Amino acid sequence: MNSLSPASPTDPLPPPIHERLQRDRDEALDELCQWLRIGSISSDPRAVGEMKSAADWIENKLRSGGLLTRRIPTCGFDLVYAETPAVPGAPVVLVYGHYDVQPPEPLELWISGPFEPTIRDGNLFARGATDDKGQVLTHVQSVVRWLSTGRPLPVQIKFLIEGEEEVGSDGLNQALPELADLLACDCVVISDNSQYADGQPAITYGLRGILAMEIRVDGPKQDLHSGSFGGAVKNPAIALCQLINSMIDADGRISVEGFYDGCIPLSAEEIGLIDGLPSDDAQLAQELAVPTLFGEAGFSSNVRRWARPTFDVNGLTSGHQGEGGKTIIPSFASAKFSFRLTPGQDPDKVAAAVSRHLHQHLPAGVTLSIEPGHGAPAMISSTTSPFITAAKAAIEEAFGVAPVMIREGGSIPIVAKFQAELGADCLLLGWGLNDDGAHSPNEKFSVEDYHRGTLASAALWNRLGQLPR
């Protein structure tokens, strides 16, 4: 092969790029720490200033790295868009991620402050470390540092980094149809998820959808003495528990009529593939400090987590929460809850079925109000596209281990809409780990995985650039 012949599709990353990423590791880590110091909590009205700073930070990083950037206002928080030059005939890739984070509470459980990134035992601890600043920054780093070598990228890369993923992506959802031309691409690359296990990278071909809601059961106009009035009025906390109990049976099956309508069952072949992955329920139970795992009867825990619908109470409030006892009948009780949905389930239809169920099962003596929350359908992508082939090779090149194909149970509300509006398949490449503590105290991201993710990202651009045109 002489130096002018086209690269074979199996060529690894050119050494100068590899060396640049290696040389810049400390600086890249330092930059992640800068971004993590900004407490961009999208659900907290007090954090609007931080939301703007986090968007400014990433926009500036992209612009100073040589990309053309654009700030796109929405009905919610701004989108940050950036692009590298078009490469005629080569695929166009859209990298999506989010700069918003979940609230860090309870603060007293953090060993170091949620917005004071700290390294312990090879992990970087901070809110947003894995979800999603650390992960999306791997792609920004790979692009910016590639460009810093003076070599052109072999594919065009567009970035779309939003600030409302953790609150349902309303702004992006509304704006997406108008942005379809700007965002036109052949595939969407997302790293906002996990590897299968430590040392076992994965490509995720399916995510569950979500339907969240908040309900409130009202009783007497104010808290009452439970001695004077117990026996005369319905206790709203008990009514709420009865309602919750009516929605799920002891085997973990959801009892809402019509809930499973449309739900596409997994093929025996897919169940076989999922159940063929190494997994240990007893070990997971031990890690999570629960006496035993629990879930819908008849399915393995991986199938239940990734591909079966579930119901969870996320928060429950009623009555006296302070120290000591207080003998009252609370005036109200409320619950935040969510359903994870699987392919074929329509969030709007599920919402209607749940609302019907709640009204039908409401005990006498209290009133009910329902506040609808986020809704997004599940996502399934191809497992055999050329993009998957390129990603497999890139991951093996960076991690030294071939990835396994998995689904995951979390939701990225906009992904199904990307498929529908942009006609592009999604490539979900998680660099995180299941025990990273996303949404929990002491969220972390492995420093090595940050660097390996960056390397895999660069290797992906290189492999995608070699796909036959």
What is the binding site for ligand BES (CB under 6 A)?
131-132, 165-166, 168, 192-194, 207, 210, 374, 408, 410-413, 438
What are the residues binding Zn ion (CB under 5 A)?
131
In this structure, are residues 217 and 368 in contact, taking their beta carbons and an 8 Å threshold? yes
Residue by residue, DSSP assigns 423-435 as --EEEE---B-GG
Which of residues 237 and 429 has its CB atom nearest to ligand BES in the complex?
A: 429
The whole-angstrom separation of Cα 196 and Cα 177 is 34
Contacts of 47 (CB under 8 A, 6+ apart): 39, 40, 41
Q: Which of 447, 414, 406 is nearest to 430 (CA)?
A: 406
Which of residues 311 and 332 has its CB atom nearest to ligand BES in the complex?
A: 311
Report, in Å, the least distance between residue 442 CB and ligand BES.
17
Question: Is there a cis peptide before residue 9, judged by omega within 30 degrees of 0?
Answer: no
Which of residues 91 and 209 has its CB atom nearest to ligand BES in the complex?
A: 209
168 binds, among Zn ion, ligand BES, none (CB under 5 to 8 A by kind): ligand BES
Report, in Å, the least distance between residue 6 CB and ligand BES.
37
437 binds, among Zn ion, ligand BES, none (CB under 5 to 8 A by kind): none
The whole-angstrom separation of Cα 374 and Cα 162 is 16
The whole-angstrom separation of Cα 187 and Cα 205 is 13
In this structure, are residues 118 and 126 in contact, taking their beta carbons and an 8 Å threshold? yes
Contacts of 158 (CB under 8 A, 6+ apart): 81, 82, 83, 84, 92, 93, 94, 95, 182, 183, 185
Report, in Å, the least distance between residue 190 CB and Zn ion.
12
Which of residues 223 and 346 has its CB atom nearest to ligand BES in the complex?
A: 346
Please count the CA atoms within 13 angstroms of the CA of 41 that sit on its side-chain side: 15
The total of other beta-carbon atoms located within 10 Å of residue 440's CB is 16
The residue sitting closest to ligand BES, measured at its beta carbon, is: 410
192 binds, among ligand BES, Zn ion, none (CB under 5 to 8 A by kind): ligand BES
Q: What angle do CA 451, 24, 39 make, to 5 degrees?
A: 65
**Amino acid making up residue 292:** T
Report, in Å, the least distance between residue 192 CB and ligand BES.
4
186 binds, among ligand BES, Zn ion, none (CB under 5 to 8 A by kind): none
Which of residues 24 and 192 has its CB atom nearest to Zn ion in the complex?
A: 192
Report, in Å, the least distance between residue 413 CB and ligand BES.
5
Task: State both tokens at 195.
Answer: 């590897």
The residue sitting closest to Zn ion, measured at its beta carbon, is: 131
161 binds, among Zn ion, ligand BES, none (CB under 5 to 8 A by kind): none
Report, in Å, the least distance between residue 210 CB and ligand BES.
5
Which of residues 141 and 193 has its CB atom nearest to ligand BES in the complex?
A: 193
Report, in Å, the least distance between residue 42 CB and Zn ion.
10
Which of residues 82 and 438 has its CB atom nearest to ligand BES in the complex?
A: 438
Which of residues 59 and 131 has its CB atom nearest to Zn ion in the complex?
A: 131
Report, in Å, the least distance between residue 54 CB and ligand BES.
15
The whole-angstrom separation of Cα 55 and Cα 182 is 19
Report, in Å, the least distance between residue 461 CB and Zn ion.
26
Which of residues 305 and 451 has its CB atom nearest to ligand BES in the complex?
A: 305
Cα–chain-centroid distance for residue 401?
A: 24
